[in-house]
């Protein structure tokens, strides 16, 4: 499945712990909007359409969040086409 990659961040990102806490307290779509405000530096300015990578952790009619654990944990948020 392909979608637009709009946000990518890893455990080494300075806001990882705050983002994890926000994720626990907000509904998924509110979390995405909050991340766009608090951490605009991780939002893709020109989202690219690509194959979804990682294990799907959350999905709505509009967004998909994936998680990947390698050398560093990584979260990707995609907007569905």
pLDDT in tens, 12-58: 999 999 999 999 999 999 999 999 999 999 999 999 999 999 999 99
Max CA separation in the chain (angstroms) = 31
For residue 70, the model assigns a pLDDT of 76
pTM for the full model? 0.91
DSSP E strands in 1-81: the ranges are: 2-10, 43-51, 55-59, 63-69, 73-80
Q: How confident is the model at residue 3 (pLDDT cuts 50, 70, 90)?
A: very high
Listed in sequence order, the residues at least 6 apart from 42 whose beta carbon sits closer than 8 Å to its beta carbon are: 7, 8, 9, 13, 35
Of 24, 20, 2, residue with least CA distance to 10: 20
For residue 4, the model assigns a pLDDT of 97
């Amino acid at each position: 499945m392909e979608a637009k990659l709009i946000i990518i961040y890893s455990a080494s990102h300075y806001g990882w712990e705050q983002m994890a806490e926000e994720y626990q307290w907000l509904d998924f779509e509110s979390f995405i909007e909050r991340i766009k405000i608090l951490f605009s530096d991780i939002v893709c300015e020109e989202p690219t359409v690509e194959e979804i990578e990682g294990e799907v952790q959350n999905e709505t009619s509009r967004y998909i969040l994936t998680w990947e654990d390698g050398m560093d944990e990584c979260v990707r948020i995609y907007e569905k086409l």
